[in-house]
Each structure stands twice: as C-alpha cells, then as structure tokens.
C-alpha cells in the first residue's frame, strides 16, 4: 500500500486521507483498448480509481453515439472481466463553463490526489486548482482511438479488435453499429 504521507495537503476538502485515489476522465465513445491499458495500469497503483464519463448527456451523435449508461456498462464489464474491482464510475454532465468545471467534478466524486488525462483543457483546469496532473503514455494512439473505432464501424471494417470483448458484446446488444450508421445519413434541414 502506498504511503499516505505524500498525500497530506493535496486536497483542501478532506483533512485526513486514508486511501490513495486517482481520477481518470474520458469520453469513452466507445471504451477501447487504449483506455483499458491505461486504466488497468492506474488501478494497480492506487487504492481506488474514479473513472469519470465526460459529456455524459451526449449520445446519438456521430462523435458521441453512446449514452452514459451504455458507456458505464462497457467500462464496468471490461474491468470486472479481468478481476478489477477497485474502481468507481461517475457520469459527468458538461456544464459549458470551464471556470466552474473542476468544482462541479469535485462535488460529485470522492476526493482524489492525482488526475490522469490526455486532454489539454482538463489538464490545465485541474493544474490551476492545484492538483497533480499526469499524462498517461498512449501506445499506438492512431489505432486505439475513439474516432478510429467509429470510422471502422461506419466503413464495415474490423473495429472489434480495437476494443475489449465486453465492449463488443454491449455494442451488439444495443445495435450500436446500426445506430451509428443511421445517424450518419445526413440531412441538414431537420
């Protein structure tokens, strides 16, 4: 178990911190092997990992096809399939107000000591609030990305190899590929 000493003083909301908790924020449209590798790694290093599903109210869009509930299922099934249990998943709605966004997240999650993110805005906002922010290494970023998975779904290519098996299952159950393709039939004049 990691020593708690270095932690004291990180958060100003809780005086005595018993567990070491990390925050990982993503949109997970969908959850893919790139996310999975990073989260497994973090989960093995901390007591608990809080996984925030960003843009939770977005779904049924080309860039955001899946609901927060569907993404919840993808993440939890994939992690439990590997025996990982020390995670929490919290959907976070966009507030479109960057200056209050960190407070918004803080009010919905247990206190954390370190934030993992690859998004420059998230990084900057948490840094300005005094958090330690780390940028996880991404292997093969070009393939393991949400946009590549969605592109393959639209083009009928092999997207299944980019995501954990549990994600394939969830997307099949909800007819996710069919949904994405219907949304792609553009008709601007609604």
Rounded Cα distance, 190 and 93, in Å: 25
Identify which of residues 5 and 97 has a Cβ nearer to a second copy in the complex: 97
Question: Can residue 69 be called a binding residue for a second copy (CB under 8 A)?
Answer: yes
Q: At what angle do helices 98-108 and 120-128 cross, to 10 degrees?
A: 80
**The one segment of 1-9, 12-20, 38-46, 157-165 that binds a second copy by CB under 8 A:** 12-20
User: Interface residues for a second copy in 117-156 (CB under 8 A)?
Assistant: 117-125, 128-130, 145-147
Q: How far is the CB of 139 from a second copy (least distance, A)?
A: 14
Identify which of residues 44 and 175 has a Cβ nearer to a second copy in the complex: 175
C-alpha gyration radius of the chain: 17
Q: How far is the CB of 3 from a second copy (least distance, A)?
A: 18
User: Interface residues for a second copy in 160-179 (CB under 8 A)?
Assistant: 173-175, 179
Q: How far is the CB of 95 from a second copy (least distance, A)?
A: 8
* Host H or E run for residue 10: none
Work out which of 40, 58, 134, 152 binds a second copy, going by CB under 8 A. 58
User: Interface residues for a second copy in 76-115 (CB under 8 A)?
Assistant: 76, 85, 88-91, 93, 95-100, 102-104, 106-111
CA nearest neighbour of 118 among 33, 38, 7:
38
* Host H or E run for residue 89: strand 87-91
21-26 and 114-116 beta bridge pairing: parallel
Identify which of residues 12 and 156 has a Cβ nearer to a second copy in the complex: 12
Half-sphere exposure of 22 (CA within 13 A, CB side): 22
CA nearest neighbour of 25 among 112, 142, 153:
112
User: Interface residues for a second copy in 17-56 (CB under 8 A)?
Assistant: 25-27, 54-56
**The one segment of 1-9, 38-46, 70-78, 153-161 that binds a second copy by CB under 8 A:** 70-78
Structure tokens at 173: 């159950």
Q: Helix, strand or coil for residue 50?
A: strand
């Amino acid at each position: 178990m990691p020593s708690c000493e270095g932690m004291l003083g990180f958060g100003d909301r809780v005086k005595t911190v018993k567990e070491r908790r990390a925050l990982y924020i993503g949109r997970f449209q969908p959850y893919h092997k790139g996310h999975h590798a990073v989260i497994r790694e973090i989960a093995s290093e901390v007591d608990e990992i809080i996984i925030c599903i960003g843009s939770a109210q977005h779904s049924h869009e080309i860039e955001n096809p899946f609901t927060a509930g569907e993404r919840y299922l993808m993440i939890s099934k994939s992690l439990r399939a590997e025996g990982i249990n020390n995670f929490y998943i919290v959907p976070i709605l966009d507030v479109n107000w960057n200056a209050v966004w960190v407070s918004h997240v803080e009010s919905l999650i247990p206190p954390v000591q370190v934030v993992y993110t690859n998004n420059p805005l998230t990084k900057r906002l948490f840094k300005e609030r005094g958090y330690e922010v780390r940028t996880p290494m991404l292997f093969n970023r070009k393939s393991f990305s949400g946009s590549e998975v969605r592109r393959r779904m639209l083009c009928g290519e092999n997207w299944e190899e980019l995501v954990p098996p549990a994600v394939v299952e969830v997307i099949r159950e909800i007819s996710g590929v069919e949904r994405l393709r219907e949304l792609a039939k553009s008709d601007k004049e609604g």
